[in-house]
């Protein structure tokens, strides 16, 4: 990847009282990519973003954002990025349109044409007061404010949690366009389908630590393929996992490096039917979360 990474984090730790929210987290987001930051609630995603925004101070470790220091250079850096929090709270007495303009101006201006277009695409009424919006509409206000700003980096914290499927599709289009415009996106999410559809690379976090990071293809390669077959006879199958035998049907998972050997054994056992499926992100994810670290 060319140039400096947009986000470079290594060995980041942060504790709140007795809770260790981040425990040596590593994360690299290359410039121009959409990076999925995947993990369940409480894994440390929001804490990481808040450290990147200079709202929290890390206990130890290294964090670099657009070549600057997230805490020290906060004001300068914030001109070059936009943030959508997971829990969008608006000022009750300001209209949505006023909030969008204000947030844009606070980070140095926004593109009115793009704002109008986004309001239309997200089907958002900007004249309502903040307290009158539903959760989904509050999220849209923050999204429009972020997407209509001229920034290099978008930090999005579970931005679709309150959106209906139609609006989620609009969101995906918009984010894909942003990448087309050369922007970098760090998308924190626990919705696997979203990450799978949008992201170039993924980092999976668990208990404040990155357990996996890479392109989806790389991650898949590291993991197992699901196989279901109907055979004449049931052979010995060394090196497979989660084996289930039901009459002449077998179902199992196999590691990438064992796949060739296993297929040879199956062929020798008289294959009548065979389905091979690469692992979904969900399976990847569950594998990391089911077993102890």
Note the residues at the interface with another protein (CB under 8 A). Answer: 46-47, 50, 53-57, 74-76, 78-79, 82-83, 85, 87, 89-103, 105-108, 112, 126-129, 131-132, 142
Q: Do 1 and 31 contact (CB within 8 A), yes or no? A: yes
Please say which residue, 79 or 190, places its beta carbon nearer to another protein. Answer: 79
Residues 164 and 235: their CA atoms lie apart, in Å, by 48
Please say which residue, 128 or 221, places its beta carbon nearer to another protein. Answer: 128
- Which tokens belong to 107? 């980070």
Please say which residue, 89 or 217, places its beta carbon nearer to another protein. Answer: 89
Three-class DSSP category at 127? coil
126 φ/ψ sector (left φ>0, alpha ψ -120 to 50, else beta): alpha
Q: Rounded to 5, what percent of the chain is helix, strand, coil?
A: 35, 30, 35
CB atoms within 10 A of CB 182: 9
Q: How far is the CB of 222 from another protein (least distance, A)?
A: 33
Q: How far is the CB of 166 from another protein (least distance, A)?
A: 23
Q: How far is the CB of 95 from another protein (least distance, A)?
A: 3
Name 82's Cβ contacts closer than 8 Å, sequence gap at least 6.
107, 145, 146, 147, 149, 151, 153, 154, 155
Three-class DSSP category at 85? coil
Please say which residue, 98 or 207, places its beta carbon nearer to another protein. Answer: 98
Q: How far is the CB of 193 from another protein (least distance, A)?
A: 26
Residues 20 and 18: their CA atoms lie apart, in Å, by 6
- Which tokens belong to 133? 């919006």
Please say which residue, 36 or 54, places its beta carbon nearer to another protein. Answer: 54
Please say which residue, 143 or 284, places its beta carbon nearer to another protein. Answer: 143
Residues 30 and 147: their CA atoms lie apart, in Å, by 19
Q: How far is the CB of 136 from another protein (least distance, A)?
A: 15
Q: How far is the CB of 105 from another protein (least distance, A)?
A: 4
Please say which residue, 106 or 193, places its beta carbon nearer to another protein. Answer: 106
Q: How far is the CB of 266 from another protein (least distance, A)?
A: 51
Residues 139 and 158: their CA atoms lie apart, in Å, by 10
């Amino acid at each position: 990847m060319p140039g400096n990474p947009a986000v470079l984090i290594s060995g980041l730790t942060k504790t709140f009282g007795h809770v260790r929210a981040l425990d040596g987290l590593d994360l690299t987001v290359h410039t121009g990519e959409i990076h999925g930051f995947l993990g369940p609630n409480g894994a440390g995603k929001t804490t990481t973003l808040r450290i990147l925004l200079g709202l929290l101070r890390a206990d130890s470790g290294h964090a670099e954002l657009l070549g600057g220091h997230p805490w020290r250079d906060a004001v300068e850096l914030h001109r070059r990025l936009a943030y959508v929090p997971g829990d969008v709270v608006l000022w009750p007495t300001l209209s949505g349109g006023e909030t969008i303009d204000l947030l844009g101006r606070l980070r140095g201006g926004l593109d009115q044409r793009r704002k109008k277009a986004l309001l239309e695409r997200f089907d958002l009424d900007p004249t309502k007061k903040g307290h009158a919006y539903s959760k989904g509409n509050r999220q849209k206000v923050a999204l429009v404010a972020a997407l209509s700003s001229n920034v290099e980096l978008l930090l999005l914290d579970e931005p679709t949690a309150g959106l209906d499927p139609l609006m989620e599709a609009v969101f995906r289009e918009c984010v894909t366009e942003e990448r087309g415009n050369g922007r970098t996106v760090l998308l924190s999410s626990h919705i696997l389908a979203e990450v799978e559809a949008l992201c170039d690379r993924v980092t999976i976090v668990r208990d404040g630590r990155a357990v996996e990071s890479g392109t989806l293809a790389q991650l898949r390669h590291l993991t197992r393929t699901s196989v279901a077959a109907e055979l004449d006879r049931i052979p010995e199958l060394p090196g497979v996992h989660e084996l289930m035998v039901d009459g002449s049907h077998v179902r199992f998972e196999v590691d990438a490096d064992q796949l060739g050997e296993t297929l040879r054994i199956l062929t020798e056992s008289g294959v009548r039917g065979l389905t091979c499926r690469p692992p979904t992100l969900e399976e990847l994810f569950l594998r990391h979360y089911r077993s102890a670290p």
